Amino acid sequence: MSAETDPIWTAESVLELARGYQPAAILAAAADLDLFTALAPGPRSVGQLAGSLGANRADWPSCSTPWWRCGCW
């Protein structure tokens, strides 16, 4: 590509690209977590939803290291 046809990336254009990606990422995460099956019977509270998914916060690691750095996950 030549300099004349290369896109110009501004902060706003990058943010616009990210905003366009977010809805698809949220849907993919919901499908991966099987949220649609858990919500099929009807609306649920956060506690009910967490219970049906086995996402008990008491089971989370208690270390203070950020999840992307620690090996406890």
CB 38 within 8 A of CB 44: yes
The residue behind tokens 């004349």 is: 4
| CB-based contacts of 30, cutoff 8 Å, min separation 6 | 36
pLDDT digits over 10-50, tens only?
999 999 988 888 899 999 999 998 899 999 999 998 888 88
pTM, full prediction:
0.52
Closest C-alpha to 53, from 38, 68, 31, 32: 38
- Residues 46-57: pLDDT tens digits? 888 888 887 766
